[in-house]
């Protein structure tokens, strides 16, 4: 009798192993994706504008300045300065940032045959957006994604990844999607900005507004990826919503 029990036990062992292996493969046993920033906006540091106020640029509003020919930003490659997203400070909280607008059509022909920029913000006229930064008496110009990667990688936190994604793309963080009354909703499901940890970096939900041309002016939901080494990729872009009041608006 004991021999039969032993034989039965030995037959059950491979069955149990097979069950455990299969169970580990189903979603119930899969570790959940770690969400580091949810729909609650992260706390950002207050940016001090004073490093950019007396360096030869004329601030026409609190958010926009034109730079004179002999100004520090102009000599470094900025025709205009403008206020960035508050979340850009997450890239490096100890630094001060402004956007640097470079207008290739205003440059001498010998300058920048292939002008560099992080992203384009112009419509009929090309405008290259760069970053202009200040820390401890020194100014730094970030012309393109390679400059950004060189100066700020590796990307190690969700907050830094959010700042990096905004800096490299010009996309916007949105934590206010409950305020879309009257808007034309195009997506089956809208997600507010969030950051998820993946094996080699972070996946982030941001938004891109299509400003140029005639309406409707669509806002797109962008799923992007920032790797720990500082590479950036748009994974998915879907139409999200439109403001009907802008249907007849044309921007060139």
In this prediction, residue 164 carries a pLDDT of: 98
Model confidence pLDDT, tens digit, residues 110-126: 466 789 999 999 898 99
Residue 204 DSSP SS3: strand
Q: How confident is the model at residue 207 (pLDDT cuts 50, 70, 90)?
A: very high
Half-sphere exposure of 108 (CA within 13 A, CB side): 5
Instruction: Report the candidate in 99, 103, 87, 91 with the shortest Cα–Cα distance to residue 49.
Output: 99
Q: How far, in Å, CA of 86 to CA of 44, rounded?
A: 7
Q: Among positive and negative, which fits the CA dihedral 83, 153, 146, 223?
A: negative
Q: Which two tokens stand for residue 177?
A: 């999607």
* Predicted model pTM: 0.84
Domain ranges of the chain: 50-152, 158-251
Model confidence pLDDT, tens digit, residues 136-163: 999 999 999 999 999 999 999 999 999 9
Q: How far, in Å, CA of 165 to CA of 222, rounded?
A: 11
Model confidence pLDDT, tens digit, residues 37-47: 666 788 887 78
Cis before residue 154, ω within 30 degrees of 0? yes
In this prediction, residue 165 carries a pLDDT of: 99
């Amino acid at each position: 009798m004991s021999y039969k029990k032993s034989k039965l036990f030995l037959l059950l062992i491979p069955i149990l192993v097979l069950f455990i292996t299969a169970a580990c493969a189903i979603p119930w046993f899969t570790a959940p994706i770690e969400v580091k920033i949810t729909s609650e906006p992260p706390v950002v540091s207050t940016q001090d504008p004073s490093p950019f106020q007396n360096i030869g640029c004329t601030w026409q509003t609190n958010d926009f300045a034109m730079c004179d020919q002999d100004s520090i930003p102009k000599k470094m490659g900025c025709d205009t300065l403008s206020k960035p997203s508050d979340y850009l400070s997450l890239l490096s909280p100890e630094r001060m940032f402004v956007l640097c607008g470079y207008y290739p059509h205003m440059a001498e022909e010998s300058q920048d045959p292939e002008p560099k920029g992080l992203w384009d913000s112009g419509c009929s006229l090309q405008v290259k957006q760069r970053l202009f930064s200040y820390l401890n008496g020194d100014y730094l110009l970030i012309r393109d994604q390679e400059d950004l990667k060189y100066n700020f990688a590796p990307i190690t936190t969700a907050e830094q990844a959010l700042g990096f994604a905004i800096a490299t793309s010009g996309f916007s963080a949105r934590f206010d999607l409950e305020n879309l009354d009257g808007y034309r909703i195009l997506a089956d499901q809208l997600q507010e900005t969030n950051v998820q940890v993946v094996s080699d970096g972070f996946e982030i939900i941001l938004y891109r507004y299509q400003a140029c041309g005639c309406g409707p002016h669509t806002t797109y939901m962008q799923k992007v990826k920032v790797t720990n080494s500082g590479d950036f990729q748009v994974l998915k872009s879907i139409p999200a919503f439109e403001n009907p009041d802008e249907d007849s608006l044309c921007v060139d």
